[in-house]
Structure 1
Amino acid sequence: MSKNVLVTGGAGFIGRNMIRGMLGDGYHITSLDNFKIGGWEHIPEDIRDHVEWVQGDTRNIDLLMQVVKGKDSVIHLAAPSSFLMYEEDPVGGASVTTHGFINLLEAMRRQGLGKLVYASTSAVYEGNPVPYVESMKLSPPDLKALSKKWNEEVARQYSERYGITVIGMRPFSVYGHDEFSKGGYANVISLFVWAVLNDVIPVVWGDGRQTRDFIYVEDAGRAFQTALERDLATQEFNVGTGVETSFNEVLSLIGEELGKEIEPKFVDVPIAIYAQRLMADVSRAVEVLGFQHEVDVREGIRRVIKAARGAQSTQKWPGISSAQMYFETLPAS
């Protein structure tokens, strides 16, 4: 297959880790990003000079027409990554997610591109029992999930009407070693590690028994690349591990790795819509996509700790060491 690919949101957390793997496999990457979360200073040196970086917004159809031209396919990651971002700016979050997505599909249609792999979200399943299966009926409870579900429906329409293969990826709880650019929006694993290393008491919403299907960022990036490379029909895939881990278990693992007793601060959940359990059924990903995760939670936590310790002596540390305190500034719904 040809390897001239546009990645939107390539400077973001999943994007920059995915791009590293793709460059190693001989891809030529153009990235379109507004650098709002994944700022230039967070782009690793080993990929910085090997990608064509374009600063811009997916809501700019003229710009999309330019950057799509001559590409073979697209991986679309450009959208607010945290449900908190949609809570704080509902109009902006929904606008980027929906307007940017249909712009991209329309630009691809006009320029004759045939394949798109894009990030949906596991939040589309909320309200269903776990484990979440791709065939479940979706009734999204919040604006992020609703916007992503709309994207999935538009994707299928463009696939059926114009023959574009559109693969929707539904990531679960993605975490990893270099979430520094996300600050208080980072995954709870990173927030807990940063807090404990800074002798700050971790803040836990509820009783800590809520669970997530935590998938390491490099595994998540590999899932997107795998979907790009496989000859598949338009469909959706869970991007998870099929393993459910509670917040209390995460804190226990962090304590074991650091040799510390961790006593978190439990607070009431400050938002109205909050999932108590998240876990993927990974059967379709394994059997159809041919993807399985490689990094388990303990190993992932070790990598997060190692990266955080390396950041302690840098300018990144003061900004992230107490990033979790952002939780306590949220008004109760």
Structure 2
Amino acid sequence: MSKRVLVTGGAGFIGRNMIRAMLGDGYTITSLDNFKIGGWQHVPEDIRDHVEWVQGDTRNFDLLMQVTRHKEAVIHLAAPSSFLMYEEDPVGGASVTTHGFINLLEAMRRQDIGKLVYASTSAVYEGNDVPYREGMELNPPDLKALSKKWNEEVAKQYSERYGITAIGMRPFSVYGHDEFSKGGYANIISLFVWAVLNDVTPVVWGDGSQTRDFIYVEDAGRAFQTALERDLPTQEFNVGTGIETSFNEVLSLIGEELGKEVKKEFVEIPIAIYAQRLLANVERAEKVLGFHHEVDVREGIRRVIKAARGAQATQQWPAISNAQMYFETLPTG
């Protein structure tokens, strides 16, 4: 099992939670991150002094050659996490996702690093019928999904030509207790919890019947670590639960946990491309990877509520509690 690992995007939402578990399992970790979403202040104190943090961009090839030196494997998470980021900055989003990815693969080839686990996205499936299964024909509907699909194709080429084992992970709707750094880009569960705790009416796109396959961030991080540790050939895995939950159901669960009635404001969906349902087929993840989620949505919501209550005493809380209103700035075309 590889122990000297480079994690790109290690300060991000999935990264910092995954790194905490990996440190407990004896890994030596270098993290390359631009600290764009949230910044250094969101890196938990319990991991700050136990990781080599390098600030930089994956498009800097010379820097990648430095941070990959003497590493045994790489987990690649560095890329804009929300499709909204690509809507706002198409060139920048695609550049980081594609240029940074091929830079990394080339650095790994030159440094003779044989294992890569990287974040793709469940959005590559959109347009297919649910549940989404690995092996489906992919026709990405937006720039984020297209960029990630390109990554998957490049990863396969480097695997076939140079022997790098590249495991692509397709996360579904990842949420969790410490999404504060993401602000308006946070998962809808966090946005709803933050609003309700501040007596702000949750804003629901459409009629609330849309569903997501919500997976807790610690489960998602464990899936990446499991993929690193398994001796498997190049392939892709869904990172989900195989359970879909509607937005209306999420709000009902939040109300039950808080013991209060949750009112809703329904608005028209303000963007042109929007998935009504997201659901993972998890057979390959369970049978081949040996991964199964542990945290169900109700327990996950409890953890998000607990963390949010802890944040209510901080200076950042007013902005957090109104983060759901971010959608008002989106282009509507």
Is the Cα contact below 8 Å between 1:61 and 1:107 reproduced in 2? Answer: yes
1:106 Cα deviation (Å)? 0.2
Q: Could you give the per-residue CA deviations for residues 217-273 of structure 1, whole angstroms, max 9, x where no partner exists?
A: 000000000000000000000000000000000000000001111111111111110
| Amino acid in the other structure paired with 1:272 | A
Is the Cα contact below 8 Å between 1:13 and 1:38 reproduced in 2? Answer: no
TM-score for the superposition, normalised by structure 1: 0.99
Question: What pairs up with 1:97-112 in 2 under 5 angstroms?
Answer: 97-112=97-112
Q: Measure, in 1, the Cα distance between the counterparts of 2:116 and 2:331.
A: 38
Match in the other structure for 2:289: 289
Q: Measure, in 1, the Cα distance between the counterparts of 2:38 and 2:153.
A: 28
Q: Could you give the per-residue CA deviations for residues 21-62 of structure 1, whole angstroms, max 9, x where no partner exists?
A: 000000000000000014100000000000000000000000
SS in 2 for 1:174: strand
Match in the other structure for 2:155: 155
Question: What pairs up with 1:44-55 in 2 under 5 angstroms?
Answer: 44-55=44-55
| Amino acid in the other structure paired with 1:68 | T
| Amino acid in the other structure paired with 1:318 | P
Q: Measure, in 2, the Cα distance between the counterparts of 1:203 and 1:47.
A: 35
Is the Cα contact below 8 Å between 2:35 and 2:55 reproduced in 1? Answer: yes
Q: Measure, in 1, the Cα distance between the counterparts of 2:308 and 2:206.
A: 26
Match in the other structure for 1:248: 248
1:223 is aligned to 2:223: yes
| Amino acid in the other structure paired with 1:64 | L
CA distance 1:105–1:38, shift in 2 (3 Å)? farther
Q: Measure, in 2, the Cα distance between the counterparts of 1:176 and 1:218.
A: 8
Q: Could you give the per-residue CA deviations for residues 111-160 of structure 1, whole angstroms, max 9, x where no partner exists?
A: 10000000000000000000000010000010000000000000000000
| Amino acid in the other structure paired with 1:253 | L
Corresponding pairs, count: 333
Q: Measure, in 1, the Cα distance between the counterparts of 2:286 and 2:9.
A: 26
SS in 1 for 2:6: strand
Match in the other structure for 2:9: 9
| Amino acid in the other structure paired with 1:221 | G
| Amino acid in the other structure paired with 1:31 | S
1:288 Cα deviation (Å)? 0.2
Is the Cα contact below 8 Å between 2:2 and 2:229 reproduced in 1? Answer: no
Q: Measure, in 2, the Cα distance between the counterparts of 1:331 and 1:201.
A: 22
TM-score for the superposition, normalised by structure 2: 0.99
Match in the other structure for 2:316: 316
1:269 is aligned to 2:272: no
Question: What pairs up with 1:188-207 in 2 under 5 angstroms?
Answer: 188-207=188-207
1:300 is aligned to 2:300: yes
| Amino acid in the other structure paired with 2:156 | R
Match in the other structure for 1:175: 175
The worse-fitting range, judged by mean Cα deviation, of 252-261 and 316-325 is: 316-325
Match in the other structure for 1:26: 26
% identical aligned pairs? 87
| Amino acid in the other structure paired with 2:51 | V
Q: Measure, in 2, the Cα distance between the counterparts of 1:328 and 1:260.
A: 27
Is the Cα contact below 8 Å between 1:59 and 1:100 reproduced in 2? Answer: yes
Match in the other structure for 1:210: 210
Match in the other structure for 2:139: 139
Tell me, which stretches of 5 or more residues in structure 1 are unaligned? none
Q: Measure, in 2, the Cα distance between the counterparts of 1:259 and 1:63.
A: 51
Tell me, which stretches of 5 or more residues in structure 2 are unaligned? none
1:177 Cα deviation (Å)? 0.0
| Amino acid in the other structure paired with 1:161 | R
| Amino acid in the other structure paired with 2:215 | I
SS in 1 for 2:29: strand
Is the Cα contact below 8 Å between 2:125 and 2:140 reproduced in 1? Answer: yes
| Amino acid in the other structure paired with 1:55 | Q
1:332 Cα deviation (Å)? 1.5
| Amino acid in the other structure paired with 2:271 | I
